Amino acid sequence: MKSAESALLSEIMTTNIVTLDITERVEEALRLMVKFDIGSVVVTDKQKPVGIITERDVTRAALRGDSLLRLPARSLMSRPLQTGTPDMEIWRSFETMLRLGVRRLPIIENEKLVGIVTEKDLTRWVLRVFYEPKLPDEIRTLVKNQKIEALTGRPRCPSCGLYQDECICVRTQVASEE
pLDDT at 137: 74
Count CB neighbours of 120 within 10 A: 14
Amino acid at 113: L
The stretches in the chain having pLDDT less than 70 are 1-2, 66, 142-178
| Residue 104, helix vs strand vs coil | strand
pLDDT at 91: 92
Contact call for residues 125 and 93 (beta carbons, < 8 A): no
pLDDT at 35: 87
pLDDT at 158: 65
Residues 165-177: tens digit of each pLDDT: 555 554 444 334 4
Please report, for the chain, the start and end positions of each structural domain, with discontinuous segments joined by +. 9-147, 154-178
pLDDT at 142: 67
Amino acid at 140: R
pLDDT at 70: 82
Fold of 9-147: CBS-domain (3.10.580)
